[in-house]
Amino acid sequence: MKVAVVGATGLVGTKMLQVLEERNFPVSELIPVASEKSIGKLIQFKGQEYPVVSYQECIQRKPTIALFSAGGSTSLALAPEFAAAGIRVIDNSSAWRMDPDKKLVVPEVNGHVLTASDYIIANPNCSTIQMVMVLKPLHLQYRIKRVVVSTYQSVTGTGVKAVTQLMNERAGLDGEKAYPHPIDLNVIPHIDVFMENGYTKEEMKMIWETKKILEDNTIAVTATTVRIPVMGGHSESVNLEFDRDFKLDEIRSLLSQTAGVTVQDDVLQNIYPMPLWAHDKDDVFVGRLRRDESQPNSLNCWIVSDNLRKGAATNAVQIAEYLRRKDFI
């Protein structure tokens, strides 16, 4: 099986290569693709070196599947070309997520929507992925009426430029900036561009995508997304209002039995999810489970996951694995 990684030299592309190798995805030939300045650069994969090629050469070599992490404009331009050549695209950008003709997939949550005719498949926003992993079993059991989420997002979600800005600031060095303000010793309530309604696009992504993935437009969702000076994971404070009441022990049991979710909820032992614990792991971690005492049928929780893995690379590879299990590839 020939596998292309488009954007192979970026943070997520590099992580995709790592996850493909770790999960022993059956790659007979790797085709790394990146911008023109990286063509010819050698990429290490499973003990071999593969040169970065142009997207035109990649299409000519007819990979079975292409994992895209090269930005929205690149995906809009190239994904249809790949699909037209019979190459299945799993795209990590926001380009296709809300297209009504494209599937937006977290395999454990809504993998059932995929069919053999899907040639461009959207990987959701990293913050949405980790949240819906926890929401899905609770929605099935109690029906969620409303979600209020505030995020605490790692600089790795922005990319290499943001990581460099943080480390430069910590070292007292000048350099290129990814953010309009300092990020070290600061939090910035501004991810992506501001929209006319006063929300950022990142906040609206969480609102729109949650409804689409859970296949329920009646769920009310509101979000505030914030960038913080950490690397290795996104954190979320989530408040859920259900149709009916619940017992906390039932919630813990339900989430403990959910594939891909790990409950860390022992406050007497200071055990709760943190980015340090989630770093380089594929599970979504949930804790600080407690009843919202301000209104009925409501739950507070804290959700953490490695945004480069389950929030991006691992989810994309899991989609490819799902397609393979279904004999779609």
| Residues in a beta bridge with 240 | 147, 299
Please name the residues in contact with 89: beta carbons below 8 A apart, sequence gap of 6 or more.
65, 66, 68, 75, 79, 82, 83, 119, 120, 121
Query: Do 179 and 159 touch, CB atoms closer than 8 A?
Result: no
- Written as six digits, the tokens of 230 are 């950490």
* Spatial separation of the C-alpha atoms in residues 261 and 74, rounded to whole Å: 32
In this structure, which amino acid lies at residue 63? P
- Written as six digits, the tokens of 272 are 């709760």
DSSP 306-320: -TTIIIIIHHHHHHH
Query: Do 52 and 36 touch, CB atoms closer than 8 A?
Result: no
Catalytic residue among 58, 234, 279, 301: 234
Is 126 designated active site? yes
Catalytic residue among 58, 126, 279, 301: 126
Q: Quick check: helix, strand or coil at residue 75?
A: helix
DSSP 233-248: -EEEEEEEEESS---H
* Spatial separation of the C-alpha atoms in residues 259 and 34, rounded to whole Å: 34
Is 112 designated active site? no
| Residue (of 282, 32, 69) closest to 160 by Cα position | 69
Helix ranges restricted to H, 151-278: 160-171, 201-214, 248-256, 275-278
Q: What is the DSSP letter of 113?
A: G
Query: Do 178 and 161 touch, CB atoms closer than 8 A?
Result: yes
Q: Quick check: helix, strand or coil at residue 131?
A: helix
* Spatial separation of the C-alpha atoms in residues 254 and 218, rounded to whole Å: 23
| Residue (of 176, 130, 180, 159) closest to 71 by Cα position | 159
Query: Do 235 and 273 touch, CB atoms closer than 8 A?
Result: yes
Query: Do 210 and 199 touch, CB atoms closer than 8 A?
Result: no
Active site residues: 126, 234
